[in-house]
A and B are shown apart, each in its own frame.
Chain A
Amino acid sequence: DVKVTQSSRYLVKRTGEKVFLECVQDMDHENMFWYRQDPGLGLRLIYFSYDVKMKEKGDIPEGYSVSREKKERFSLILESASTNQTSMYLCASSLTGQETQYFGPGTRLLVL
């Protein structure tokens, strides 16, 4: 079974804080993704990575950065959290190409 884990289920941060969201997969997948999910807007891709140290912007990268130092770990970084980054963040991984993406449990982030 594919397992994708995220470091926190719930996070509360203050405006201006630097926030790290961690994602780990245990299936040796090439691709990893970060999405955010908002009511009325659905799921939108923030960043993805197709290899170690490789990263590509998704549809809404502004205000975010990512890091992939090891194949199994993909981190999402909010450089200076803002209230409009309050959202549900979902990490996913896939073997390669358009293979099935498997999702982690999500992190609900509240920025005050």
Chain B
Amino acid sequence: AQKVTQAQTEISVVEKEDVTLDCVYETRDTTYYLFWYKQPPSGELVFLIRRNSFDEQNEISGRYSWNFQKSTSSFNFTITASQVVDSAVYFCALSEEGDSSYKLIFGSGTRLLVRP
């Protein structure tokens, strides 16, 4: 069955530290999509990145980077030089090509607290 696991429930770091949020997924589909969303205290889910299963290139966007490894079914997210504004809950999600509902399967989220 499809599943997304974010084993880190909560992480606390001091500003300017680097932090990596882990995401492990399970799927039987050969074509699938992986996402990261940020949920600040206001509640809105903010889209960060989408990756398809055929593109294993790592991606960097400013202080954010993502490491996709099919061999370990992982899609980890690293924030470099963290800032207080990065404090939020981060969700990893999976969508399968074979699922006609197009639904996102979310992990349980990792709460990141960046202290000044």
Contact = CB atoms under 8 A, between A and B. Distances in A.
Interface stretch (B61-69, B71-79, B99-107): B99-107
A94 interface: yes
Interface residues of A, number: 26
Classify the interface of chain A: helix, strand, loop or mixed.
strand
B103 A105 contact: no
Interface string B29-63: 00001010100001111110010000000000000
B101 A45 contact: yes
Name the prevailing secondary structure of the B interface residues. Answer: loop
Given A48-B101, A101-B104, A108 B95 contact: no
A9 B41 CA distance: 13
A100 B47 contact: yes
Given A90-B45, A103-B37, A106-B44, A42 B103 contact: no
B43 A88 contact: yes
A4 to B, nearest CB: 9
Interface of A: 9, 31, 33, 40, 42-43, 45, 48, 50, 56, 58-59, 88, 90, 92, 94, 97-98, 100-106, 108
Given A43-B91, A103-B46, 5 more contacts: A9-B43, A43-B104, A50-B102, A88-B43, A98-B102
Interface of B: 33, 35, 37, 42-47, 50, 91, 95-97, 100-104, 106-109
- Nearest first, the 3 closest Cβ-Cβ pairs linking A and B are A103-B45, A106-B43, A45-B103
24 contacts: A33-B102, A42-B106, A42-B109, A43-B91, A43-B104, A45-B103, A48-B101, A48-B102, A56-B101, A58-B101, A92-B104, A94-B102, A98-B33, A98-B97, A98-B102, A100-B35, A101-B35, A102-B47, A103-B37, A103-B45, A103-B46, A105-B44, A106-B45, A108-B43
